[in-house]
Structure 1
């Protein structure tokens, strides 16, 4: 049987406790995020009222459980859900056809002037994909690169540089870039 929980109209979480400190803190942060300078005069408490509903209805509405006040056995959360963090091909700050997260974006300039800020995607894997366990964690030795960080590659005297394509594989992950258990 689903539990009775509380949500606010603008929030992304559902709460088991009406007096949840995380909810109150989020409301205060929302009140301070008006986009004005530090001395604006229209900041007033805008506490959104709590709405009572079942935890199942809250989950269907896209609300996530508050990890502060919702006990683990009352959390309606599918452990296999990717929350939209999937690899796709798109525009990132580094190129036009990169493997990116279809959900995560940041503001940046891919082409045009510095005034032409638009959302561009984050390279895959995004931090959320790693945290959700959708991809294995990166090797701490090579930081997911797969190459041995202690080797620079073969020296090319004609150009006075090392060849990055001749770096041997990482001795810890054997070139996979993934952390080994």
Structure 2
């Protein structure tokens, strides 16, 4: 899609058709929302869908054909899941696990002790987000 697309400042989607019913109904949702709502339209034109996607807008599934949809890139969206080397062991910067150990106090009574431990890299979230390649599946031994 090389033509211009329409986006709305408060919207989450970009539209190929200025008369798209989803675009019009979305604008109606904001009408009379409050007294400070501007009377002018919040529509804006972008030169192409790639630029709209770089602004974080998703394609409208109603008016943008499937073969011409451009989605925002996920590059850089690690959500804090990054490798960090601590004492020579790679761990995830964000993930921690609360573990309860049994400790013996001064009166030789067992008591639970909560400890926060790090998660080794790659964590499950890094695999799901596609930050690292998934390991090959291991076949079950019968």
Relative contact order: is structure 1 or structure 2 higher (C-alpha 8 Å, sep ≥ 6)? 2
Place the TM-score, normalised by the shorter chain, in its bin.
0.3 to 0.5
Give the structure with the larger strand fraction.
2
TM-score by length of 2: 0.45
